[in-house]
Structure 1
Amino acid sequence: MTNMLLWVVSALSLNRFWEEVMVHRSVLMDWVRDALAAHGGQARIVQVSKHIWENHEKKLRDSGELFYTWQYDFRWAAERLRKKKIMKPADESPKGIWELA
């Protein structure tokens, strides 16, 4: 019984962990959109990354594991923005350029 209870508590903790990560990851969608808007609707990936870092460094440093994964996660955010048609599909933009739709 004790082992089962520990498993349930561990599973709940893991679910809370992933919910927290997802909440933070979803903020990156706003940050990517804001970075593109600040660059006239299009920017190189490095410009987006630099904009996010310059405007959200403290939040990133305080975000726990997201601090170590945000470079990957903001690319995930761009894919989500493409699926929502907020960004142009990659094959409709010049190589290495992200664009708002």
Structure 2
Amino acid sequence: MLVIVQILSILLTVAWWIIIIQAVMSWLIAFNVINTYNDFVANIWTALDKMTQPIYRPIRKIMPDFGALDLSPMVVLILILILQSVILPAMLRAAG
């Protein structure tokens, strides 16, 4: 059980950083610091988008539309934080 919890913790940490990187990159694109005409930037943006859209889609269906403000990454980050600080430790206590 310890190995499963450790793997889940690593995967949640990776997901956390992917979401943070995508948020920072979206700000840089919005303020025209970097643009998607660059092939490297476009490839990274596409890869990050394909990784996060399956996670965001169910949350976007539930949340109200705020126009240009997308709060689904923040909701996912809060869920990841809850999983890492509450659920995973409870799984370890239950197994041990």
TM-score range, shorter-chain basis?
0.3 to 0.5
Q: TM-score, normalised on structure 2?
A: 0.42
Larger RCO (CA under 8 A, 6+ residues apart) = 2
Q: Which has the larger share of helix? A: 2
Name which one, 1 or 2, has greater alpha-carbon Rg.
Answer: 1
Q: TM-score, normalised by structure 1?
A: 0.41
